[in-house]
Structure 1
Amino acid sequence: MTESTIVAGPAQGKARVKMAIRDATKIYETRSGGVHALDNVSLDVREGEFLCILGPSGCGKTTLLWSMAGLHSLTSGDIMLGSERIVKPNPEIAMIFQDANLLPWRNLIKNIELPFELKRRPPDRAAIARLLDRVGLAGFETKMPRELSGGMQQRASIVRSLSVNPSVLLMDEPFGALDAFTRDEMNLLIQEIWMETKKTIAFVTHSIAEAIFLADRVAVMSARPGRIAEIYDIDIPRPRSIDIQTEPSFIKRVLEIKSRIEHGRGGARVAIT
């Protein structure tokens, strides 16, 4: 894939690169041989953008995201945050996983304060209180994880990640296990939080509709070994309502990306307007 001029709005076109992925290759060594997960992946994540990474199961999306978080080492290639090479977890980068990963023996507030404890820093209780109120969890501070719904647990994980004020938020299919109605609510919530904070977000998903709904750009990966097959610019005005997913123009976009994934075509950048 070759990079070309960004055709989204002027602000996106001028945005500086926040994270740069260059020739990222990952081969897992197993008893039965090497598993080639990523092959020379190069991708820029721009300052303040919402980037979705999409592709078939097993294409290396999660491997790429975990490498961006410094949780996986690459076989070759580099991932840069500004001028710093990412080879281990970085305080500027927070990650939200597929599961909320709340410790069952700690209540909600103690789970949210855990990153501060690990970094030996006093918790920013004012920021935490604002975030809890923002996501509708004010008043649930003393509840145990088993007393919270799946959606509430994921809201808590979002608060936990944002409370340390990262500049980059990585999200690995965070809403995939939720029912359709709760997933819609969470997509609206993360869109609103992104619009308020302008955090740089890279979001992995299997859902084409979710990617188009959330993203400024959608990076489509090929089947294993994972490569960047296509990048789509999503020029849909914000805020976006869930109802746009039923519009013929939106469905057309979903079918276009679905066709590209199924037929393995790649190469040029495509603008979706």
Structure 2
Amino acid sequence: MKGTAIIPVILAAVCMQQAAAEVDAVETLVNTIRETFGGLNAKRDQWFDNYSVLKQLLQKDQLQLNQILFVSKMAIPMIWHLYATQVIAQKTVLPKLLNDKSKTLPYNGTILAPIRPIFHVEITLVLHEFRNFQVEILQDSSQQIFHLNFDFKERHASLGERSNDGVSNERVVLHNDQFPAINLHQPFRVNVQVADDCIFASIWPGNLNLDIPLPLPVKYSWCTKDHHTTQSFSVIVHYGMESASSDESHESLEDTQDALHHQSDIQLIAATIYDGILAQ
């Protein structure tokens, strides 16, 4: 009888322990879920804060961008107008030492050296075929103080001069993406400023219309520290990469016929030399 009475007591104790264990397990699960949702809420709040910061930055950047665009629309035409007005005024005042129009290549224009060896050269050309050409400036018909070589096949252009010992110095090399974007049948301009022994050169790929704002091209400059007493300066434009000052007696009949055949490939629109420096 006693053994029979003990069994229910043991079963009851076991059931109570199991119930307590289940309560603990449920409580642990609830606490875990609560902590998980608490962490998710914290992350959600952090994500919201980050989103709010990014939204504010975006709105600020957009506002600043709109301000920059507005200022650009107002400032660029104004700046260009001031620039164009200055250039036009200078061209009206400065004497022209040379003013040739529509010449066939090869072209050679010569001026007496100004009292001050400071002048501005503008060469306007138009290509009907991509034909290599060279622009040179010589002093006293022999010493090359500037050259610009164009090679369209290699997309290579070089600016420099030839030293007194006959060695060609390439001061600037333009190739690939730096190669000037010259288009067929569209006038383009080569500007060269000579200031004693210093050169300032720029290439305008498109037709320079002072009524339409354009980005100013890069101006390349260098000084040779070679000072000479000069009697005259010559501006030469011709086909090919060889110097126009070389001995013409070595020119073959085939070269002459080839030059005549390609005369219409490049047209010289204008060659002008101003006595002084222009703001270009």
Higher Rg of the two aligned structures: 2
What's the TM-score, normalizing by structure 2?
0.25
* Structure 1 or 2: more strand by fraction: 2
TM-score with structure 1 setting the length = 0.25
